[in-house]
Amino acid sequence: MRNVMSNEHIRRIERIESLKREKNAIILAHNYGRAEVRAVADAVGGSSRLTEAASETSADMIIVCGVDFMAEMAVVLNPDKKVISPVRNAVCPLARQLSRNDLDMAKKENPGAEVLLYMNSLADTIAMADCVCTAANALPIARTMGGDLPLLFGPDHNVSYYIRKGAKKEIITIPDSGFCPVHHKISLVDLIHAREMHPATQVVAHPECRPEVQDHTDYIGSTGGIVRFCKESDGTEFLVAADVGLSDMLRDEAPDKTFYPVSEATICARMKMPTLAKVEEALVTEKFQVTVPKEIADAARIPIGRMLELS
Ligand code: 13P
Ligand code: SF4
């Protein structure tokens, strides 16, 4: 299908670029976001890339086109800047699965154990951690932590499996159950069916997928890692166990290769909430500003800073 931009679309892009200059604003967009939003972003990538971009910017305003924990991360790293989410309810359900109370209890039950939290956590729990990690850097960071004691890790049990296996670490995962509802829905049966349809393909998966899916892949990594692997691989056909938007993005990034989502139902609707119209509106109205209490932000800056140092 030919991609013809309407005059309205072109006008909106020009307005966004002009507002960015006027307000000294940047746009950060996650790989799972809409293509129209990624096209106007100053940094596009996975959680790691967006954290680096947020830590390096000299802009006065940061528009975060992702989910809530990413906007909070930008606030924590930029306490004097205005951080805006173009939508009010871009909530990552995974990030709400570990409470301060659960983490506090786990720390008391495991004195001396270091706490590594998956970046998909809210700032109030990150403030209680020793370090955070993303899918991109979880293995090297976990290898440096814990000493002789098991590592406390949360909230995603599938990512915990990935770290236990890949970094050969003993891990206590908190809370008792925690997973991303989008990736966890991809079953081994889905993968077997997809392989029957496309037998010659390589399989790539995000570590938020179930252990049995991870165990049947050629590559497991972050959204950014998957893009890199597929572009650099000699393979020409890939089954992608991740948000369907990543397969669309891969088709743009590597047009000579073929990408099939393992399941067409794998869609993170929250990441798709920011539209081009919402981004324009956010730049005009400066709604919705994201804030984090100062004592939480000051404490959360330490584990996020440690991740940036280690990666
Ligand atoms: P990445 O850090 O791999 O971009 O993943 C973030 C995420 O929320 C995917 O579900
Ligand atoms: Fe959260 Fe899952 Fe969406 Fe990532 S894909 S933002 S972990 S709900």
Q: What is the pLDDT of residues 76-92, one digit of tens each?
A: 999 999 999 999 999 99
**CA neighbor of 248 nearest in space, from 3, 67, 28:** 3
Same domain, 239 and 276: no
Cα-to-centroid distance, 32 and ligand 2 (Å) = 9
Looking at 143, 163, 180, the residue that finishes a domain is 180
Provide the pLDDT for residue 3.
Answer: 61
Looking at 146, 180, 214, the residue that finishes a domain is 180
Counting atoms of ligand 1 from 1, which one is nearest the CA of 208?
A: 10
Q: Which residue's CA is the nearest one to ligand 1's atom 6? A: 47
Same domain, 8 and 78: yes
Using a 10 angstrom Cβ sphere, with 0-12 exposed, 13-18 middle and 19 or more buried, the burial of residue 275 is middle
- Is residue 311 domain-resident? no
Counting atoms of ligand 2 from 1, which one is nearest the CA of 156?
A: 7
Residues 6+ apart with CB under 8 A from 84: 61, 62, 63, 64, 282, 283, 286, 287, 288, 289, 290
Helices (H) and strands (E) in the chain, counts: 14, 12
Please give all residues whose beta carbon lies within 6 A of any atom in ligand 2, as ranges: 67, 92-94, 120, 180, 182-183, 208, 243, 268, 270-271
Same domain, 176 and 187: no
Return the best residue to mutate from 163, 206, 246 for the ligand 1 pocket (most ligand atoms within 8 A of CB): 206
Number of domain units in the chain = 3
For 256-308, how does the pLDDT look when each residue is reduced to its tens digit (9 = 90+)? 999 999 999 999 999 999 999 999 999 999 999 999 999 999 999 999 999 99
Same domain, 143 and 200: no
Counting atoms of ligand 2 from 1, which one is nearest the CA of 180?
A: 2
Band (1; pLDDT cuts 50, 70, 90): very low
- Domain range for 80 is 2-89+271-291
Distance, CA of 130 to CA of 74 (rounded, Å): 19
- Is residue 161 domain-resident? yes
Same domain, 84 and 98: no
Would the pLDDT of 226 be above 70? yes
DSSP state of 116: E
Q: Which two tokens stand for residue 135?
A: 């899918």
- Is residue 299 domain-resident? no
- Is residue 239 domain-resident? yes
CATH number of residue 31's parent domain: 3.40.50.10800
- Is residue 305 domain-resident? no
Same domain, 189 and 165: no
Same domain, 173 and 196: no
Give the number of the ligand closest to the Cα of residue 180. 2
Cα-to-centroid distance, 95 and ligand 1 (Å) = 11
Q: Which residue's CA is the nearest one to ligand 2's atom 5? A: 268
Band (4; pLDDT cuts 50, 70, 90): confident
Same domain, 19 and 78: yes
Name the percent of the chain lying above pLDDT 90: 97
- Is residue 307 domain-resident? no
- Is residue 143 domain-resident? yes
For 17-76, how does the pLDDT look when each residue is reduced to its tens digit (9 = 90+)? 999 999 999 999 999 999 999 999 999 999 999 999 999 999 999 999 999 999 999 999
Same domain, 48 and 106: no
Same domain, 34 and 78: yes
DSSP bridge pairs for 260:
239
Band (204; pLDDT cuts 50, 70, 90): very high
- Is residue 246 domain-resident? yes
Looking at 116, 148, 180, the residue that finishes a domain is 180
Please, what's the b/e burial string for 133-149 (b: 16 or more CB within 10 A of its CB; e: otherwise)?
Answer: bbbbbbbebbeebbeee
